Amino acid sequence: MKILHTVEYYSPSIGGMQEVVRQLSERLVASGHSVTVATSSRPDRAAGVLNGVAIQSFDIQGSQVRGMTGDVLAYERFLLESEFDVVANFAAQQWATDVALPILPQIKGRKVFVPTGFSGLFNPKYEGYFEQMKGWMRSYDATVYLSKDYRDYRFGLEQGLENMVIIPNGAGEDEFETLPELDLRNSLGIPRDDFLILLVGSHTGLKGHREAMAMFKAANLPKSTLLIVANDPQEGCGERCARRAARFRRSPIRLLDRKQILVAELTREQTLAAYKAADIFLFPSQIECSPLVIFEAMASGTPFLSTDVGNVAELARFGGGELLPGKADEEGLTHADIAASAKMLAAMRKDRHTRTEMARKGREAWKDNFTWEGIATRYEDLYQTLLAPESGKTRADIG
């Protein structure tokens, strides 16, 4: 098959959507297909081909709601003139999908939409956008949802869409079957007997960094370390996180209880080693669709505590983690109850048996349901089903 994936950002940019499209694209190439990714230009991505995936870069920024700048017409011409068997748009509310939406009927090939959550669905600024979305989505041959447990799937049901497919996110066996032997505690100055709490999430201001620090400070957790792993420390909340961690290192509670907060930018190998070294994964994020870091915690055998964001409640039902107390506001952002979450975190530290069982169940669920190896095959099956001569529809649900 000749496949086009469109996404706002792509490797070497780091983030959840970038990783999803990279995993799928590279694995489909390894299966013998031709895959092109249309994405934003980057000065550090000079090659036209990256790990077998052809890259078509465009100097464009923004979205329909925020406004778009750059060579939008060049991207529109590319979409209209190219001849792909399958065109898959990943994520709404950004230019790589938004330019395509009004011209979908004129784009050649079978068309697939992976909404990844509709984060702005309850934001008044996006009311007109999502009113139009009701019509745009009918021009796709299939829409792919990461779970039945989130707002984008419910939106599709309300529109009476056909060809709604569930394919989850995951984590790769190639990374998590054998984790690195790096001694991360030694390299970061984390004592051997410290209870290590890990949070992996970019400095967007919404991944729960501030909340995790507040929980950690409030919790009865002597001899413990909170490690926040995030890239691009100059972006978003990076500088604020660094200042909060530095203030805590100078505080009396840090000295009395021997607690520390570390904010670090790590390589992928070091991050995998951090999962291996951690006692628990803490994720008080405000908004997600299907967070990769929860799948990675499950794959690494690290029990998780997370806010009820995206499809985390669905994943918690497998037994690999529990939900932090909190509630959502009118715009759909979830806010953890800091005091109650701090007590829950402290109780989990004392309950080694529960943590061990959560680790076992989470890893088993990942192995059975959420490996990238299996997920890429399900996308391949979907694409091939769409291209089958007798196919007017896809299967209602793959797997």
Residue keyed to tokens 């068997």: 85
- Are 173 and 373 in contact, with CB atoms under 8 Å apart? yes
Residues 160 and 209 in one domain: no
3-class SS at 14? coil
Inside any domain, residue 398: no
Inside any domain, residue 217: yes
pLDDT in the model for residue 60: 97
Q: What is the DSSP string of 283-326?
A: E--S--SS-HHHHHHHHHT--EEE-S-TTHHHHIIIIIEEEPPE
What's the CATH code of the domain at 122?
A: 3.40.50.2000
pLDDT in the model for residue 234: 73
Inside any domain, residue 198: yes
d(CA 312, CA 255): 35
Inside any domain, residue 395: no
Inside any domain, residue 394: no
- Are 132 and 159 in contact, with CB atoms under 8 Å apart? no
- Are 104 and 140 in contact, with CB atoms under 8 Å apart? yes
Inside any domain, residue 241: yes
> Cβ atoms within 10 A of the Cβ of 85, count?
17
pLDDT in tens, 77-130: 999 999 999 999 999 999 999 999 999 999 999 999 999 999 999 999 999 999
Inside any domain, residue 200: yes
pLDDT in tens, 169-216: 999 999 999 988 899 999 999 999 999 999 999 999 999 999 999 999
Domain span holding position 233:
174-368
Query: How long a stretch of residues is the chain?
Result: 399
Inside any domain, residue 229: yes
